[in-house]
Structure 1
């Protein structure tokens, strides 16, 4: 049988874990393409959209955020990273679209983090267990601190993985460019060497021809 304090602890943990509705996604956006996502949000809810172009081209993408009525809430072009924080003023489906239509041959890999805070659909309702007010406050503060620390750790690890993936992609692209440049230099050296040999050979051939003609006279 759980004590009232433990029951409150479990309720608070569940409350904190469900209070913030978060979706993380990494997807590939082809060249000359557009990808849209939809989310139903209630009035008064705060939402945060964070995105980053991990790989592809110049690491940039277009973004457009629309309200349920079709009003453009945010629009940016050729952006590598950004974070948008808004409060829902309308009840309905919000849409945000990523566009790579300006690129004709380079696809992009994009990471997005969509968080909704304070949405009534994700809140826990019902009577609270009977515990002392001082104990409830202490438990709330401790669980809140744990939750914030865990969120900070998760965000740090996520951004560290994104930076590592971006750095690896840049390194692989640089390695490919260096290899192509080295191959081009090697081919150029071979061509110059062959041309030099042929040029020197032509000099000796002309001398041999002129000497044989003088002896015949």
Structure 2
């Protein structure tokens, strides 16, 4: 059983003046399958991809980033987690693909965070040419601190989900192993009782058989 309902979650898109977008989601990757995501990026715009396999198999996937001309910008095989930053050399549609083709029976639950462009500024900050006030500076620092807190919370939630899944798998294995041991003990006990019963059962002795003749 996978974590919660496997829904596309945390899909947030922020648009600023110079095409800034943030896509954060969790998705299920079936066995022997490939899932690709497409994003249009302007030239000279920086982008960052971060991913982590939460559950399934050996917690690994193949990851690839392709540019508009099919050029490979990033490619890794059987990775559990990683982060990659790049700058778009030309405007076009960029593709991020996650592959589970090497696995024939293990479903994966994958978290992905794809940031494109700079972060959107706080409302009212930077709209005037004067020096920032103490209040505006404090607001910017608080905003940065809250973003770091969100990142740490996301990281710990992923670790918690991964640990919970491992604990559930271990609990299931212990249950079936205990059930098998219980069945084996019952079989051995029944066999011993039957053997001992045969040892003490009344049988005609050889002397009695000879006298009958």
What range is the shorter-chain TM-score in? 0.7 to 0.9
Q: RMSD value over aligned CA atoms? A: 2.9
Structure 1: tracts of 5 or more residues without a match: 1-13
CA 1:47/1:15 → structure 2, altered by over 3 Å: closer, same or farther?
Answer: closer
Equivalent in the alignment of 1:208: 203
Give the ranges of 4+ consecutive aligned residues of structure 1 lying more than 6 Å apart after TM superposition.
Answer: 14-19
Q: For the residues of structure 2 that align with 1:182 and 1:129, how far apart are their CA atoms? A: 67
Hey, what's the Cα distance between the residues in 1 that align with 2:141 and 2:16? 11
Give me the whole-angstrom Cα distance separating, in 2, the residues matched to 1:95 and 1:129.
34
Q: TM-score, normalised by structure 1?
A: 0.80
8 Å CA contact 1:15–1:123 kept in 2: the answer is no
* Partner of residue 9, structure 2: none
Q: Which runs of 5+ in 2 are unaligned?
A: 1-13
Superposed displacement of residue 137, structure 1: 6.1
Q: Secondary structure in 2 aligned to 1:208?
A: coil
Aligned length: 196
User: Which protein has the bigger helix share?
Assistant: 1
CA offsets 1:126-164 (integer angstroms, 9 cap, x no match): xx7656x23x36565333312211110110111111111
| Contact 1:16–1:147 (8 Å) recurs in 2 | no
TM-score (norm 2): 0.81
Cα deviations across residues 17-69 of structure 1 (Å, max 9, x unaligned)?
A: 99852111001111111100000001111111010111111111111111111
Q: What does residue range 94-173 of structure 1 map to in structure 2 within 5 Å?
A: 94-118=94-118, 133-134=130-131, 136=132, 138=134, 141-173=137-169
Range that drifts further, 170-179 or 137-146 = 137-146
